[in-house]
Amino acid sequence: MIDVLVIGAGGAGLTAALTAKDAGASVLVVAKAYPTNAQTSMAQGGMNAALSNAGDDTVDAHIADTIKSARGLCDERMVETMCSDAPHAIAWLDSIGVPFSRVETKESGIKTVAQRQMGGASAKRACYAQDYTGLKILHTLYDTCLKQDIDFLDEHYLLSLIVEDETVKGATFLDIRTGEVRQIDAKSVIIATGGYAGLYHNYTTNMTGASGDGIAAVLRAGGAISDMEFVQFHPTALKSSSILISESARGEGGYLVNNKGERFIDELKPRDVVSRAIFEQFKQGYEVFLDVRHLGEEKLMELLPQEVALCKLHENVDPATQLIPIKPVAHYSMGGIDVDHTMAVDGIKGCFAVGECSNAKVHGANRLGGNSLLEITAFGKRAGESAYKYASLASIKPASDTQLQQDKNYLENLYSKTPTENFYDKREALGTLFYEKVGIVRNNASLNEALNYIIDTQENLGNMGIADKRKTNNTNLTDFLEFANALLLSSTIVSAAIARDESRGAHYKEEFAELDDEKFKNHIVFQWKKENA
Amino acid sequence: MILQILRSETNSLQSYTLEEKETTLLHALMEIKKTQDPTLTFTAGCRASVCGTCAVRVNGKEQLSCAYKIQDGDIVEPLNYHPILRDLKVDKNRAKETLVKSTAWLHSAKEACSSPKDEKLTERQTDCILCNSCYSACPVYVVNPDFLGPFSLTRAYRYSVDKREEDVKGIIDNVQTNGVWDCTLCGECTLACPKGIDPKMDIMMLRGKSLQYGYTDPSLAQQSFGEPNFGFDPNF
């Protein structure tokens, strides 16, 4: 039996896999696509670590900035751990070959890594590799996994965790190529499946596959999920395509202007504040643009080559000479699987979670740019260590096939029914509904309308299903399964948002515009209790 | 506007009619799947040219679906030299094995004083998103399915010039068989790369490095200069 089953092959999963293998565990990484397809590749701006390579900085300042941005909802001990680990995490990435951007210096190692300014940071703290930081970290991790002979199982879609006696025994997967359902037994499981901001379909920087599959699986298996109402909106996505323009564009000196050419906000405030300021401009009837023309073509091509290409392709705009039309869209989910200091999932023994799918309570109500790549590396290592330790003492009694049979039946049922409603329309409608009613500025009336819509849609899910009945390589099926997961999670997001009658970080409610520590300085947790438990 | 897509079940082109407007191929594929044909199968991810999932061939040339604006009459087919799983979805596992064979990773790391100049040495090579466009464009695969191929050799080159690498020879040793000398230097990979990487140049650089480590071009080594030889030349 495998010691550590890692589900998800982005930066968090690969770091955890490398760590567990290095400790001596047998490891298998299973993911619904190929490892380098993961959303980590989309992280552009950088990874925070107090290295003082570009002016004075301290770990304490990094901790203070992170806590301030979290607006009272983080676990300060976890923040301290992450920020203190950061220089080691950079050193480790540097040692495996990540091609960071560099500074001119006589020193060596991590002292050569270039650092840039990001929003909400009191120093130039984000280590970067041009504007391809996530891509280059992910690919270097993948190369290192190949070097260390990590086993991968590609194109396997997570269906369910197998949990018996509140203990994880493995997971079931749909083999996308063959259409078979299979069970993989393991002594411990690490979930690293990414966030759920993809459910803001058409209004998100995320890929459609960011449907919170692992979070939904934990919820169904009896584990706890928390802080689901906190979804970060990134201030600068391209207006027509929702494609991300990195925060580093503002960090490097870009302005936000309305169509009168006026600046209206300090561009380097945290993302929640900037997004709301843009939303306010929209409400007053203005359009908003990112202006980087003053940086000049040469500097733009050096610092932000990817952004320049994306603007030209998707918006027909040359940032060197023209304003970039933007809008804020859903970008990152702070909430997720509730974990403790060892990344262990609350409610399921032997199960760990890391990265955007988890809620390690370091981002609180609003994540700082540059802290997510840090989290996946620093806590990826922790998850790998914890899972290894757990596996070395865990039972090797394999699970029964009850869950496998249940999942097979579910899929057979899907194949046997003819859908009367098109779930792709519903997916789009859900995205628009969330942007309009569960977005940057919320109110209880709209949230309740959203909840009613979701409940209706959940009741109708049985009428949707799949129109493509082929067993092998059925992406109509995986699209549907992703939609079902997103729909499940959507009710938790809205319910938590309704319950939180205050404004805090990314959650802003018009009629309760102030922070209310007395009533709400706590985490809203969802957990399904089994009957007769 | 008409888009013709190669369907694997019938091994023939199927025409889809779309609204006349400027749109990416990926957007068009998603629209078809949503409104016309849920069985049309393709893969995609980030929409922003960075996850490497959505490469296909349009009118015979490799393109990222998310970065290609469709035109009336376009013919869309899956990547070459990859087993077709269904429609535009291909099996990339065999291609990815070339990364293992070429040992494209840091073999033995040391702390280094890397400068912005050193960063520039591999900046473009490390933009690679493993979309496999170059592999699909490479004509060597017609004759040698075991060729390490452009993306793996570019990646091997990237590590071989990294200041942190202590064991450059370890990399060079592993790109000899089915590697740098099997390339015809036709440059199709360079034309196909959506990220502007130049694998042909990287392979030429690896050849130079190979010579430094005592390797020679096997086609030259096998040539006979002593007496006329009009027989079969396997390298021709």
| pLDDT tens digits, one per residue of A480-532 | 999 999 999 999 999 999 999 999 999 999 999 999 999 999 999 999 986 64
Q: Please tell me whether residues B153 and B203 are part of one structural domain.
A: yes
The answer to the question of residue B110 being in a domain is: yes
DSSP string across A156-187: EEEEEEEEETTEEEEEEEEETTT--EEEEEEE
Set of chain B residues whose Cβ sits within 8 Å of the Cβ of A473: 41, 85-86, 89
The answer to the question of residue B118 being in a domain is: yes
In terms of pLDDT, which residue wins out, A56 or B220? A56
Q: B72, B90, B108: which is the final residue of a domain?
A: B90
Q: B90, B106, B121: which is the final residue of a domain?
A: B90
The answer to the question of residue A122 being in a domain is: no
Q: Please tell me whether residues A149 and A279 are part of one structural domain.
A: no
d(CA A522, CA A317): 44
- Which A-chain residues 72-101 have CB contacts (< 8 A) with chain B? 94-97, 99-101
Whether the Cβ atoms of residue A155 and residue A175 lie closer than 8 Å to each other? yes
The answer to the question of residue A439 being in a domain is: yes
Helix (H) or strand (E) holding A326: strand A324-333
The answer to the question of residue B83 being in a domain is: yes
Q: Please tell me whether residues B64 and B104 are part of one structural domain.
A: no
Set of chain A residues whose Cβ sits within 8 Å of the Cβ of B35: 424
Instruction: Give me the mean pLDDT over the A349-378 stretch.
Output: 97
Residue A358 backbone phi and psi in degrees, to 5 = -95, 160
Would you state the structure tokens that stand for residue A21, as one six-digit string?
């293998």
In this predicted structure, what is the pLDDT of residue B232?
53
Q: A303, A330, A357: which is the final residue of a domain?
A: A330
Q: Is A316 exposed, middle or buried (0-12, 13-18, 19+ CB in 10 A)?
A: exposed
Confidence of residue A131 (pLDDT cuts 50, 70, 90): confident
Q: Is residue A184 pLDDT above 70, yes or no?
A: yes
Q: Please tell me whether residues A202 and A239 are part of one structural domain.
A: no
Instruction: Give me the mean pLDDT over the A408-433 stretch.
Output: 97
Residue A486 sits in a domain whose CATH number is 3.50.50.60
Rounded to whole angstroms, what are the CA distances from A319 to A129, A263, A268?
20, 17, 19
Instruction: Give me the mean pLDDT over the B172-181 stretch.
Output: 97
Residue A442 bears catalytic tag:
no
> Domain count of chain B?
2
The answer to the question of residue A155 being in a domain is: yes
3-state secondary structure of A474: coil
Q: Please tell me whether residues A528 and A411 are part of one structural domain.
A: yes
Instruction: Among B43, B92, B111, select the one facing A108 at the smallest CB separation.
Output: B111
Q: Is residue B174 pLDDT above 60, yes or no?
A: yes
Instruction: Among B51, B109, B128, select the one facing A97 at the smallest CB separation.
Output: B109
Q: B71, B90, B109: which is the final residue of a domain?
A: B90
The answer to the question of residue A377 being in a domain is: yes
Q: Please tell me whether residues A173 and A261 are part of one structural domain.
A: no
Report the chain A residue with the minimal C-alpha distance to residue B85: A473
Would you state the structure tokens that stand for residue A231, as one six-digit string?
């979804």
d(CA A69, CA A369): 10
d(CA B161, CA B150): 17
d(CA A487, CA A427): 9
Q: Please tell me whether residues B79 and B109 are part of one structural domain.
A: no
Would you state the structure tokens that stand for residue B126, as one six-digit string?
């490390």
Neighbours of A427 (CB within 10 A): 24
Residue B65 sits in a domain whose CATH number is 3.10.20.30
Q: Please tell me whether residues B128 and B75 are part of one structural domain.
A: no
The answer to the question of residue A17 being in a domain is: yes
In this predicted structure, what is the pLDDT of residue A530?
67
Q: What is the bridge-based pairing of β-strands A231-238 and A351-353?
A: unpaired
Instruction: Give me the mean pLDDT over the A460-466 stretch.
Output: 95
Does the CA dihedral B74-A198-A259-A293 come out positive or negative? negative
Q: Please tell me whether residues A366 and A432 are part of one structural domain.
A: yes
The answer to the question of residue B55 being in a domain is: yes
Q: Please tell me whether residues B73 and B139 are part of one structural domain.
A: no
* ipTM associated with this complex: 0.95
Q: A283, A302, A330: which is the final residue of a domain?
A: A330
How many CB contacts within 8 angstroms connect chain A with chain B? 154
Q: Please tell me whether residues A433 and A527 are part of one structural domain.
A: yes
Interchain contact, B104 vs A143, CB within 8 Å: yes
Q: Please tell me whether residues A308 and A207 are part of one structural domain.
A: no
Q: Please tell me whether residues B124 and B65 are part of one structural domain.
A: no
The answer to the question of residue A187 being in a domain is: yes
Would you state the structure tokens that stand for residue B57, as one six-digit string?
């061939």
pLDDT tens digit string along A195-220?
A: 999 999 999 999 989 999 999 999 99
- Asked if A244 has any chain B CB less than 8 Å from its own CB, the reply is yes
In 3D, which of A102, A97, A34, A391 has the Cα closest to residue B130? A34
> Domain count of chain A?
2
Question: CA of A253, closest CA in chain B: separation in Å?
Answer: 21
pLDDT tens digit string along A271-319?
A: 899 999 999 999 999 999 999 999 999 999 888 888 899 999 999 999 9
Interface test with A, best of B32, B41, B43, B46 (most A CBs within 10 A): B46
3-state secondary structure chain B: CEEEEEECCCCEEEEEECCCCCCEHHHHHHHHHHHCCCCCCCCCCCCCCCCCCCEEEECCEEEEHHHCECCCCEEEECCCCCCEEECCEECCHHHHHHHHHCCCCCCCECCCCCCHHHHHHHHCHHHCCCCCHHHHHCCHHHHCCCCCCHHHHHHHHHHHCCCCECCHHHHHHCCCCCCCCCCCCCCHHHHHCCCCCCHHHHHHHHHHHHHHCCCCCHHHHCCCCCCCCCCCCCCC
In this predicted structure, what is the pLDDT of residue B220?
79
d(CA A239, CA A118): 22
Q: A281, A308, A330: which is the final residue of a domain?
A: A330
Whether the Cβ atoms of residue A391 and residue A187 lie closer than 8 Å to each other? yes
In this predicted structure, what is the pLDDT of residue A461?
95
- Asked if A53 has any chain B CB less than 8 Å from its own CB, the reply is no
Instruction: Among B35, B100, B162, select the one facing A146 at the smallest CB separation.
Output: B100
The answer to the question of residue B230 being in a domain is: no
Active-site option among A271, A276, A427, A442: A271
Average pLDDT, chain A: 96
Buried b (16+ CB within 10 A) or exposed e, B10-26: eeeebebebeeeebbbb
Q: Please tell me whether residues A316 and A361 are part of one structural domain.
A: no
pLDDT tens digit string along A224-240?
A: 999 999 999 999 999 99
Q: Is B151 left (phi over 0), alpha (psi -120 to 50) or beta?
A: alpha
The answer to the question of residue B48 being in a domain is: yes
Q: Please tell me whether residues A145 and A278 are part of one structural domain.
A: no
Q: Please tell me whether residues B78 and B193 are part of one structural domain.
A: no
Q: Is A509 exposed, middle or buried (0-12, 13-18, 19+ CB in 10 A)?
A: buried
Would you state the structure tokens that stand for residue A99, as one six-digit string?
């091609």
Question: Alpha carbon A435 to chain centroid distance?
Answer: 17
Whether the Cβ atoms of residue A63 and residue A48 lie closer than 8 Å to each other? no
Q: Which domain holds residue A322?
A: 234-330
Q: What is the bridge-based pairing of β-strands A181-191 and A167-175?
A: antiparallel
Q: Is A494 exposed, middle or buried (0-12, 13-18, 19+ CB in 10 A)?
A: buried
Enumerate residues 6+ apart whose C-beta is below 8 A from A501. Answer: A444, A509, A511, A512, A516, A519, A520
Q: Please tell me whether residues A432 and A345 are part of one structural domain.
A: yes
Q: Please tell me whether residues B86 and B106 are part of one structural domain.
A: no
In this predicted structure, what is the pLDDT of residue A305?
83
The answer to the question of residue A79 being in a domain is: no
- Asked if A420 has any chain B CB less than 8 Å from its own CB, the reply is no
Average pLDDT, chain B: 94
Neighbours of B4 (CB within 10 A): 16
Interchain contact, B51 vs A139, CB within 8 Å: no
Segments in A24-103 forming alpha helices (H): 59-70, 76-96
Question: CA of A476, closest CA in chain B: separation in Å?
Answer: 6
What does the DSSP 8-state code read for residue A347?
T
The answer to the question of residue A51 being in a domain is: no
Q: Please tell me whether residues B73 and B111 are part of one structural domain.
A: no
Instruction: Give me the mean pLDDT over the A107-121 stretch.
Output: 94
Instruction: Please provide the size of chain A in residues.
Output: 533
Interface test with A, best of B36, B102, B114 (most A CBs within 10 A): B114
d(CA B169, CA B46): 37
B164-167 contact pairs (CB < 8 A, 24+) = B164/A94, B164/A95, B164/A97, B164/B106, B164/B109, B164/B110, B164/B111, B164/B112, B164/B114, B165/A97, B165/B106, B165/B107, B165/B108, B165/B109, B165/B110, B166/B107, B166/B108, B166/B109, B166/B110, B167/B107, B167/B108
Q: Please tell me whether residues A504 and A435 are part of one structural domain.
A: yes
Report the chain B residue with the minimal C-alpha distance to residue A132: B127
Q: Is residue A436 pLDDT above 50, yes or no?
A: yes
Q: Please tell me whether residues B187 and B109 are part of one structural domain.
A: yes
Whether the Cβ atoms of residue B209 and residue B139 lie closer than 8 Å to each other? no
Report the chain B residue with the minimal C-alpha distance to residue A91: B111
Q: Please tell me whether residues A413 and A426 are part of one structural domain.
A: yes
d(CA A514, CA A492): 23
CA angle A16, A226, A46 (to 5 degrees): 50
For tokens 């009009």, the residue is B230
Q: Is residue B103 pLDDT above 60, yes or no?
A: yes
The answer to the question of residue B232 being in a domain is: no
Residue B175 sits in a domain whose CATH number is 1.10.1060.10
Whether the Cβ atoms of residue A365 and residue A505 lie closer than 8 Å to each other? yes
3-state secondary structure of A132: coil
Kindly report which listed range (A47-61, A127-141, B135-149, B213-227) carries the lowest average pLDDT score.
B213-227
Q: Which domain holds residue B38?
A: 2-90
Helix (H) or strand (E) holding A273: helix A271-283
Q: Please tell me whether residues B116 and B192 are part of one structural domain.
A: yes
Q: Please tell me whether residues B148 and B168 are part of one structural domain.
A: yes
Residue A290 sits in a domain whose CATH number is 3.90.700.10
